[in-house]
Amino acid sequence: MSVKNALMERAGGKCELCGATENLSAVALEPSDGSADQSILVCDSCKGMLEGGELDANHLRCLNESAWSQEPAVQVAAWRLLSRLAAEGETWAQDLLDMLYLEEDVKTWAQAGLADEGEDEPTLKDANGNILRNGDSVILVKDLDVKGAGFTAKRGTQVKNIRITDDGKHFEGKVNGTSIYIVAAYTKKA
């Protein structure tokens, strides 16, 4: 059975991201061996965005449902698109990323596909010298007073799905539901 036929059967003849039924094609999610397990069935709109085209935030609201798929390949595609949307300032996408849980191997696969796109991203290192990337989780190594929010982010607090900034010293993350900028040297990679 061909990969596309296997995907058509798995997806019920619908785009695995938005549910469209026309102009469907199989897309292998790199790095991939080309198998159906490492591919998804998508419509032309979703395919263009997955392959680096301009994002349509309204069309991608479909990720609110497809991100919860049980298929690892669909989870990877949703995570990659949500990461790109969050980097463009779509707060709903970042909120969904914060709630989303991926198994460690699936998250590694998702991040590997973005590695080529992130070559221009600034290099940030944590207190132990580990390189931090978008989407990583970190743990605070000291108490941080959060100016303007009226609370202290305590040592040991985990910050998930960080977003690297352009200044080379800080990253953005959520603590107690509030987006804050954190000095990378005050964290360690989780």
Q: Are residues 104 and 139 in the same domain?
A: no
Tell me, yes or no, whether 80 and 25 share the same domain: yes
Number of structural domains in the chain:
2
35-70 core/surface letters (b: 16 or more CB in 10 A; e: else): ebebbbbbbebbbebbeeeebeeeebebbeebbebe
Same-domain check for residues 84 and 160: no
List of residues 6+ apart from 64 with CB closer than 8 A: 96
The residue with greater pLDDT, 147 or 79, is 79
At residue 2 the predicted structure's pLDDT band, cuts being 50, 70 and 90, is confident
Does residue 115 have a pLDDT over 70? no
- Percent of the chain with pLDDT strictly greater than 70: 94
pLDDT of 114: 67
The pLDDT confidence band at residue 112, using thresholds 50, 70 and 90, is confident
Q: Which domain holds residue 159?
A: 121-189
Q: What pLDDT band is residue 150 in, cutting at 50, 70 and 90?
A: confident
Q: Which residue has the higher pLDDT, 82 or 113?
A: 82
CA distance 53 to 71: 23
Q: Are 124 and 135 in contact (CB under 8 A)?
A: no
Give residue 58's pLDDT: 93
Choose the final residue of a domain: 90, 114, 138.
114
Please check whether residues 98 and 181 belong to one and the same domain: no
Q: What CATH number is attached to the domain comprising 172?
A: 2.30.30.40
pLDDT for residue 117 is more than 60 = no
Choose the weakest-confidence range: 12-16, 62-66, 93-97, 121-125: 121-125
Q: Is the pLDDT of residue 128 over 60?
A: yes
Spatial separation of the C-alpha atoms in residues 38 and 72, rounded to whole Å:
8
Report the distance separating Cα 104 and Cα 88, nearest Å. 25
Q: How far apart are CA 178 and CA 80, in angstroms?
A: 23
3-state secondary structure the chain: CCHHHHHHHHHCCCCCCCCCCCCEEEEECCCCCCCHHHEEEEEHHHHHHHCCCCCCCCHHHHHHHHCCCCCHHHHHHHHHHHHHHHHCCCHHHHHHHHHCCCCHHHHHHHHHHHCCHHHHCCCEECCCCCEECCCCCEEECCCEEECCCCEEECCCCEECCCEECCCCCEEEEEECCEEEEEEHHHEEEC
The answer to which of 2-16, 70-84, 106-120 has the lowest mean pLDDT is: 106-120
pLDDT tens, position by position, 82-106: 988 988 888 899 889 888 888 989 9
Residues 63, 94, single domain; the answer is yes
